[in-house]
Amino acid sequence: MDWTVVPFLAADAVQSGTIYALLALSLVLVFAVTRVILVPLGELLVFAPLTYVFFLPGEVSGLELHGQIPGTAWLSAGLLLVWAVLDRADLRRAVGLFLAAVLVVGLAWVGARGVPLWLGWILAVLVVLPIGPASYRLFFQPAKNASVLTYLIIAVGLHFAYQGLGLVFFGPEQYRLPSILSGQTNLGTVPVNNQAFLVYGFAILTMLGLFLFFTRSLNGKALRACAVNRFGARLLGISPAQAGYVAFGIATLIVAVSGMLLAPLISPAYFQGFLFGLKGFVAGILGGLISYPLAVVGALVVGAFEQWAGYVSSPFKDALVFALLLPVLLWRSLRSHEIGEEE
């Protein structure tokens, strides 16, 4: 091995590892609170920057979109409308949801008419954000008390639907997006994109934020309580459904912002989300889908392993990363003794 490449590989490993860490954290959060293994997280990651493309001035995106409203806005609004219909018994909530749906389309319309870059950036996140909690309401809540397995199959179905919709909304192309910070900084011999520092900053902020939320805020503690003992939480008036919306909301926010920050570095396309998501899973499974710190460690391991695999055998890079699951699961299996009871 040529050791001079190691620092370069390490820099890339940290960059992708950070993204996997953000995905893994969101995954663990959603799983802990709702027992849903949220396969479509990767789609939510690319939806935000792809939506942003529609809010960019033509001279930046290089596209002629003629003020077209992005499909994700219609999806987001549509899900909210169905949610409003489902919850029509609670009139105030239904009206709120209806207004939110109108607002989403309104924001997208404003964005598509041409807004400053920063505002478009925020609008893109806001437009995509409701998709997460609304998906929980529409697709997971009705299968209440289903097994983890049923939830998983539903999640896989949803991944397919959203990936296909991504193709409908954005086509197969990759898009170039403007960086917030341009240029590079040399760390020793290794040039690092300044944009990457934003990703790291966001990751650190997210971890710190989640940590404070879970240890300082009673709302955060209620979420943890739901994960630790659902029934106990219900007895205290903590509704698991509400906890589910919050968990899906936070997870969607984390991955949407991650996607926005990452986009200038990868030139996103609709199909890229899944690979990111899947590697986030590998990281999450390293932590047993329950431990946040282990998930972050797992993510960095996956990032490093991926760079090494890419160096050794570029075409099989991803195959090797997925193969990494096998020894991990074997290790977990050897440590488990109980008769395979569900949950």
Partner 1 sequence: MSRVPWTPVVIVALVLLAPLLLSPFPFYLTLANFIAFGALVALGLYLLTGLAGMTSFGQAAFMGLAAYTTALLTTKAGWSPWLTLPAGVLVAALGAVVLGGITVRLKGHYLPLSTIAWGMALYIVMGSWTDVTGGFTGLTNLPAVSVFGLKLIDPKAFFYLSAFFVLVGAWAAWNLTGSRVGRALRASRGDAVAAASFGVNPATLKLQVFVLSAVYAGVAGWLYAHFLRFVNPSPFSLDASIKYLIAAVAGGVGSIPGVILGSGLVVTLEEWLKDLLPALFGRSGNYEIIAYGLILVLILILAPKGLWPFIERYLPKGKAKTPEGSGLPARLVAGEPTEVMLEVSDLTKRFGGLVAVNKISFQLRRGEILGLIGPNGAGKSTCFNLITSVYAPSEGSVKLKGQTITGKAPYDVHKLGLARTFQHPHLFTEMTVLENTTLGTYARTKAGIITSMFGLSRAEENAANLEAYRALERVGLAHIAQQKADGLAIGQLRLLEIARALASNPEVLLLDEPAAGLRAGEKRQFAALIRKLVAEGVTVLLVDHDMDLVMGLVDRVVVMHYGEKLAEGTPTEVQRNPKVVEAYLGEVVA
Partner 2 sequence: MNVLEVKNLTVRYGAVEAVRNLSLSVAEGEAITLIGPNGAGKSSTLKGIMGLERSSGAVSYQGQELKKRTPESLAAKGMVLVPEKRELFASMEVEDNLMLGAFTRFQRREKGLRDDLERVYALFPRLKERRKQLAGTMSGGEQQMLAIGRALMAKPKLLLLDEPSLGLAPLIVGEIFRILAELKTQGVTILVVEQNARMALKLADRGYVLEAGELVMEGKGSELLHDPRVIESYLGIRAKEEML
Within 157-176, which residues bind partner 1 (CB under 8 A)? 157-165, 167-168, 171-172
Told to check if 82 binds partner 1 by CB under 8 A, we report no
What's the CA gap between 69 and 112, in Å, rounded? 6
Asked whether the beta carbons of 30 and 36 are under 8 A apart, the reply is yes
* Partner in contact with 224, chosen from partner 1, partner 2, none, beta carbon below 5 to 8 Å by kind: partner 2
Task: Please say which residue, 227 or 256, places its beta carbon nearer to partner 2.
Answer: 227
Q: Which stretch binds partner 1 (CB under 8 A): 85-93, 105-113, 137-145, 222-230?
A: 137-145
* Partner in contact with 315, chosen from partner 1, partner 2, none, beta carbon below 5 to 8 Å by kind: partner 1
What's the CA gap between 44 and 155, in Å, rounded? 13
List 57, 67, 232, 293, residue binding partner 2 (CB under 8 A): 232
Question: CA of 311: how far to CAs of 10, 22, 303, in Å?
Answer: 11, 24, 12
DSSP 184: E
- Which residues lie across from 185 on neighbouring strands? 192
Told to check if 224 binds partner 2 by CB under 8 A, we report yes
Within 227-286, which residues bind partner 1 (CB under 8 A)? 278, 281-282, 285
Within 289-318, which residues bind partner 1 (CB under 8 A)? 315-316, 318
Told to check if 212 binds partner 2 by CB under 8 A, we report no
* Partner in contact with 238, chosen from partner 2, partner 1, none, beta carbon below 5 to 8 Å by kind: partner 2
* Partner in contact with 339, chosen from partner 2, partner 1, none, beta carbon below 5 to 8 Å by kind: partner 1
DSSP H helical ranges for the chain? 6-34, 41-55, 58-61, 71-86, 91-112, 117-128, 131-135, 148-170, 194-216, 218-228, 230-235, 240-266, 272-286, 292-312, 317-323, 325-335
Q: Which residue has the tokens 């041409």?
A: 114
Told to check if 234 binds partner 2 by CB under 8 A, we report yes
Q: Which stretch binds partner 2 (CB under 8 A): 225-233, 305-313, 317-325, 329-337?
A: 225-233
Range 303-335 burial, b when 16+ CB lie within 10 A, else e:
bbbbbbbbbeeeeebeeebeebeeebeeeeeee
Residues that bind partner 2 (CB under 8 A): 218, 221-222, 224-225, 228-229, 231-240
